[in-house]
């Protein structure tokens, strides 16, 4: 078994709204990610998965809990020196390839930022690394003199991946890297990430809505609901045999091919509204939408229980 790269213990990120009100965006996450592993993080909008990714990488200071990287605790709030030090350890690929690239910078300047931050590279070395990574993500080295607006959405996301990879980080957090792209382009970007995982033994957190894409690239899947993990286990097990009622509803809501009409049935929203993350419900967070909810579910919060040594779910019925 590979060594543990990242561990979170009781990680919380709350956003203060004033007058004692707080958004419980991430609410007590315990995770262990091993070197070379890809963890898929899924859940509806507002489940807290992007906030979790940004808290792990230090873009949001955490409210409480611990983050350990290679067994070493990370600071609760990063200083500029911490950002510089961690840039070669953790990188992020952002959701929106349009807004995440500075329109006034050339592709070379964008991709080389992490190397410039680290220092110690000559101009030639930086240019060679940029050329290498442009070609590695399926672009041309001549593209380095161009600006982001000269590229399609899929190409911009490839630039975003090259920008993250050039620092040779130990962990890459991909925050919904395909959701802003056309369906025809999504598979190409996922294939690229799967290829990087295979060839570089990349450790990755892959945050996404589309469960079939997540299953394709992930070793394990964690399902998040209202800031907490409700199920975590091997990707195929969670996808084909989800145990938590929310995981079942999430997978049932996925677009599906209909063999009768030979058309794709679009995404079906899960019935019911997500409760407010400001006033979290007592008991199980999913009780208001769960078809199996009992009185106990509305009173008592279920613990993450073991189904098998590497598969856990939080439901009174498990």
- The DSSP output letter for 235 is H
Q: What are the C-alpha distances in Å from 199 to residues 36, 152, 202? A: 10, 26, 8
Question: Which candidate, 36, 175, 30, places its Cα nearest to that of 99?
Answer: 175
Residue appearing with tokens 């990188």: 91
Binding range to ligand SF4, per CB under 6 A, among 24-32, 36-44, 198-206, 292-300? 292-300
Nearer CB in complex with ligand SF4: 227/245: 245
Token pair listed for 256: 């599906």
x/- mask, ligand SF4, residues 240-279, rule CB under 6 A, reads: -----x----------------------------------
Instruction: Please tell me whether residue 187 binds ligand SF4 under the rule CB under 6 A.
Output: no
Token pair listed for 6: 């990242």
HSE (CB half, 13 Å, CA atoms) of 39? 25
Q: Is 300 helix (H, G, I), strand (E, B) or coil?
A: coil
Which of 56, 173, 250, 290 touches ligand SF4 (CB under 6 A)? 290
Binding range to ligand SF4, per CB under 6 A, among 10-18, 158-166, 196-204, 287-295? 287-295
Q: How far is the CB of 8 from ligand SF4 (least distance, A)?
A: 23
Binding range to ligand SF4, per CB under 6 A, among 105-113, 203-211, 255-263, 290-298? 290-298
- The DSSP output letter for 292 is T
Instruction: Please tell me whether residue 43 binds ligand SF4 under the rule CB under 6 A.
Output: no
Is residue 48 within 8 Å of 274, Cβ to Cβ? no
Residue appearing with tokens 């990879």: 165
Nearer CB in complex with ligand SF4: 180/315: 315
The residues of the shown chain that bind ligand SF4, judged by CB under 6 A, are 245, 284, 286-287, 290, 292-293, 297, 302, 315-317
């Amino acid at each position: 078994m590979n060594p543990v790269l990242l561990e979170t213990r009781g990680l919380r990120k709350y956003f203060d709204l004033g007058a004692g009100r707080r958004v419980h965006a991430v609410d007590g996450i315990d995770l262990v990610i091993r070197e070379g592993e890809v963890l898929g993080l899924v859940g509806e909008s507002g489940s807290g998965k992007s906030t979790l990714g940004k808290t792990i990488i230090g873009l949001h200071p955490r409210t409480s809990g611990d983050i350990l990287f290679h067994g070493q605790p990370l600071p609760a709030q990063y200083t500029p020196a911490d950002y510089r030090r961690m840039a070669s350890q953790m990188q992020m690929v952002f959701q929106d390839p349009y807004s995440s690239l500075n329109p006034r910078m050339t592709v070379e300047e964008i991709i080389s930022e992490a190397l410039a931050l680290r220092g110690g590279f000559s101009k030639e070395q930086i240019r060679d690394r940029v050329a290498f990574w442009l070609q590695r993500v399926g672009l041309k080295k001549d593209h380095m003199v161009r600006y982001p607006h000269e590229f399609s959405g899929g190409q911009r996301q490839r630039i975003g991946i090259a920008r993250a990879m050039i620092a040779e980080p130990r962990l890459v957090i991909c925050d919904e890297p395909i959701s802003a792209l056309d369906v025809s382009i999504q598979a190409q970007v996922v294939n690229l990430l799967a290829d990087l995982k295979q060839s570089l033994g990349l450790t990755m957190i892959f945050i996404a809505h589309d469960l079939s894409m997540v299953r394709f690239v992930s070793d394990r899947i964690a399902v998040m609901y209202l800031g907490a993990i409700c199920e975590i286990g091997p990707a195929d097990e969670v996808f084909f045999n989800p145990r938590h009622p929310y995981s079942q509803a999430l997978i049932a809501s996925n677009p599906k091919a209909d063999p009768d009409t030979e058309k794709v049935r679009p995404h079906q929203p899960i019935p019911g509204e997500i409760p407010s993350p400001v006033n979290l419900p007592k008991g199980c967070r999913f009780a208001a939408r769960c078809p199996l909810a009992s009185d106990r579910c509305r009173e008592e919060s279920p613990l993450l229980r073991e189904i098998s040594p590497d598969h856990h779910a939080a439901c009174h019925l498990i």
